[in-house]
Structure 1
Amino acid sequence: MSTAIYQGRYTATDLAPEDHRARALSWVVWAGTIGAVLGPNLLYISDALGESFGLPDMGGPYVVAAVAIAIGAIIIYVRLKPDPYLIATTKSHGSQQVPSRHKLSDAVAQLKDKPRAILGIASLAIAMAVLVMLTVTVPARMLDSGISLQVIGLIVSINIAGMYLLSPVVGWLVDYFGRVPMITVGVMISASACILSGLTSAGSTTILALGQFLLGLGWSCTMISGATLLTDEVSPINRPAVQGFSDLLVNISSAVGGITAGLLILTASFEILCAVALVPLICITVVISIPACRRNSATSSP
């Protein structure tokens, strides 16, 4: 499921004009808002439906989710023809090109002498790690401080709103101002969220809510601009392999972020966790300052 979501974002860019590529990707991200809002609210209904068919407790949501995924797969298979990717490779190479099965080393080789593509992947991985580090710990910290589940749920919703709700606006900004400048903006917003959260007590729910919104918004800016930059820098025929490699690193960074957060909470403190989360953001800022990362390639936008 995670693979389908990630690749769906890139699919939206296959036929998008270069100066509208981020906007196309951002609308797919925005669609996640619908699922994030509807999903939790369908739990009770789908559970009741499952019990009416004799399924065990909470078995219904899994069946409903599986059916929804199957319907989505059928719609994509039937309606998404011809494949936008094949059309894109045809336009790029003059004839339809279907890539052979790639190895991981092939994807890595495509990144040689492409510092801006590496910057795109690094920004995606770091943005996800920082997002996970704070989103898995802030609710737990609030719960330990006696904050009600209703308030915690609201703050989680605010974080999700920051991640998805403004995606079309972020996509427009990425196309207008450029990929690298918006990665910088996303990093700065995420850093502000880390500092704000680290300096705020668990009982200051309003400020924590603001921090969670900024955390989500920073992720949105960095993710949309980083994914678009990666797409810009790699030729259409090689994009699936490199994009898949990027998704692998993003998922690994997500796991590392969660494990790191747990260890820091166990052995240190939440404040230390927020300080540690700033380190990779600072590293990305340093990478952005490298001239090769800021220089436009022959086929890329700013």
Structure 2
Amino acid sequence: MTSTAPAGTTAHISDLDQARRRILRVLVASQVLSGAGLAAGVTVGALLAQDMLGTTTLAGLPSALFTAGSALAAVAVGRISQARGRRPGLATGYLTGAIGSAGVIVAAALDNPLLLFIALFVYGAGTATNLQARYAGADLAAPGHRARAVSTVLVATTLGGVAGPNLAAPAGTFAERLGIPGLAGPFILSGTAYALASLVLALWLRPDPLLLARAVAARAEEAAAANPAATPEGTGERRGGVVLGALVMVLTQLVMAAIMTMTPVHMHDHGHGTAASGLVIAVHIGAMYLPSPLTGRLVDRYGRMKIAAASGITLLAAGILAAAAPDDSVALLALALALLGLGWNLGLVSGTAIITDTVPLATRARTQGLVDVSIAVAGATGGITSGIMVAATSYPALALTGGVLSLALLPAVAATAYRR
């Protein structure tokens, strides 16, 4: 499907740099808000399910549900963006995440596990939208600067992502004053943050980055037709690049989701409170996003393949450290989760750059949405199997397995590099 740029879009082409700066500012503002919404729910989702169900076995189900919900949302956001632009797609996704947050609060107040699971599924739309926003940052970027554009959007999530988990305890206290279970408190923060992110995008993401990029590309094609000697950027889709980019992001998401989901439960089972687990998750979220500017520069300078390989090695180190950390050591668990977040960041930025380089504008948003479905399914798989594996074995076994699994990236990257 192709979309015609709306009236008025081409007026902005003459001042493309100004449009880029404005778009990035709005995306940064929305990501700060959505980061708080994402991180707050991640911090207590597993604990809330464990409290309501009375068992650790299904503690990974919340992560599985909202990542499964993000799979459906990724398709929807991708299709809306393909047809109408990034602004309506992203705004709708965040609004849906806010509705899911409200559902979690109601479910906790009613002590209704079924409603909780449905609401967590809907809440996953916020996760999908948070990830898809990175593509919007790259829509107008030059090929040699795409990873840096992606990283600018990702790093904006850091502020909200670090603040969200640390506000879990105060939000819980606030919820209890309202007569709501304390563990549902962070979802009050999530719902508010997602709703505000939706509002920011709906009002101020103008011009739309994807529609403007299409208008710029149309102008370039017209110029190329008038001057056949000029060679425009290739628009053919290279399947190998799509597969590799998807694999890098899928595998890093699987390993990250599995270990991250069970870390708060592991800490809770060994006597650590919500504040301690919130601190560890805050460090993890910070490591997921804070290194993004450096990662973007490394990807653009040294190439997508080398940084993708580095992500696998970093995740292996994270798994080994998490497995070896003493149960009473918050510091070592925080370091392990920091490495886990860094490995995920390296994989996401390099994988996103590979996908954006590979897919033409005519099908870009739809393909990106489908790739993010795979990422969401991987996260859901990691989340739901993590609780089962810990119940059957142990948290160290889960962490070590995830670290070893991440090494599968190395032969895939090597094979693709060899074919080129």
TM-score by length of 1: 0.81
- In the alignment, structure 1 segments of 5+ residues that lack a partner are 97-109, 297-302
> Which residue in the other structure is 1:92 paired with?
217
2:135 to 3, 7, 10: 10
Residue type at the aligned position of 2:212: I
Q: How many residues align?
A: 279
Distance in 2 (CA, whole Å) between partners of 1:46 and 1:285 is: 43
Distance 1:190 1:85, change over 3 A: same
- 1:294 deviates by 5.3
In 2, Cα distance between equivalents of 1:72 and 1:210: 30
Cα deviations by residue, 1:186-225 (Å, 9 ceiling, x for unpaired):
1110111111222233223332222111111111111111
Secondary structure of the 1:12 match is helix
How far the C-alpha of 1:154 sits from its partner, in A, is 2.2
Cα distance per residue 1:93-137 (max 9 Å; x no partner): 4489xxxxxxxxxxxxx9985212211111111111111111122
Could you tell me which of 261, 278, 285 is aligned with 1:136?
261
Partner residue of 2:281?
156
| Matching residue within 145, 158, 180 for 1:57 | 180
Q: 1:62 to 1:234 in 2, by over 3 A?
A: same
Is 1:209 the equivalent of 2:334?
A: yes
For 1:176, the equivalent position in structure 2 comes to 301
Distance 2:407 2:187 in 1: 40
Quick one: which amino acid aligns to residue 356 of structure 2? T
The Cα of 1:257 is off from its aligned counterpart by 0.2
Q: What is the letter of the counterpart of residue 271 of structure 1? A: P
Asked if 2 retains the 8 angstrom alpha-carbon contact of 1:264 and 1:273, the reply is: yes
Worse-matched range after superposition: 137-146 or 66-75: 66-75
Question: Displacement, 1:60?
Answer: 8.1
Q: Name the residue aligned to 1:226.
A: 351
The reply on whether 1:287 has 2:287 as its aligned counterpart is: no
**Do 1:121 and 1:246's aligned partners in 2 also have CA atoms closer than 8 Å?**
yes
Contact kept in structure 2, 1:22 and 1:225, CA below 8 Å: yes
Q: 1:117 to 1:294 in 2, by over 3 A?
A: farther
| Percent identical residues | 30
Q: Deviations over 1:23-42 (max 9, x none)?
A: 11111111111212333466
For 1:158, give the aligned amino acid. Answer: V
> What amino acid does structure 2 have at the position aligned with 1:286?
P
The 3-state SS of whatever aligns with 1:203 is coil
CA distance in 2, matches of 1:202, 1:61: 26
How many angstroms does 1:14 deviate by? 0.3
Are the counterparts in 1 of residues 280 and 337 from structure 2 also a CA contact under 8 Å? yes
Could you list the per-position Cα deviations for residues 127-183 of structure 1 after superposition, in whole angstroms to 9, with x for gaps in the alignment? 111111111222322332233443333222221221122211111111111111111
Change in Cα spacing, 1:61 to 1:157, as seen in structure 2 (3 Å) is closer
For the 8 Å contact 1:119–1:293, the answer to whether it is kept is no
Which residue in the other structure is 2:203 paired with?
Answer: 78
Assess if the C-alpha contact under 8 Å between 2:319 and 2:401 holds in 1: no
Say yes or no: does 1:267 pair with 2:415. no
Distance in 2, matches of 1:143 and 1:68, equals: 27
Partner of 1:29: 154
Determine the C-alpha separation between the residues in 2 that align with 1:265 and 1:20: 42
Partner amino acid, structure 1, of 2:338 = F
Q: Which amino acid aligns with 1:157?
A: A
Code of the residue aligned with 2:180 in structure 1: it is: D
What is the alpha-carbon distance in structure 2 between the residues aligned to residue 145 and residue 65 of structure 1? Answer: 27
**1:57 Cα shift?**
3.0
Given that residues 46 and 64 in structure 1 are in contact (C-alpha distance below 8 angstroms), is that contact kept between their aligned partners in structure 2?
no
Match of 2:376 in 1: 251
Of Structure 1 and Structure 2, the greater helix share is in 2
Task: Tell me the secondary structure at the aligned position of residue 272 of structure 1.
Answer: helix
Q: Contact 1:111/1:118 (CA < 8 Å) preserved in 2?
A: no
- Once the two structures are TM-superposed, the CA of residue 293 in structure 1 deviates from its matched residue by 4.2
Q: Deviation of residue 50 (structure 1)?
A: 11
**Residues 32-41 or 131-140, more deviating:** 32-41
Report if aligned partners of 2:134, 2:150 keep a CA contact under 8 Å in 1.
yes
The answer on whether the counterparts of 2:292 and 2:345 sit within 8 Å (CA) in structure 1 is yes
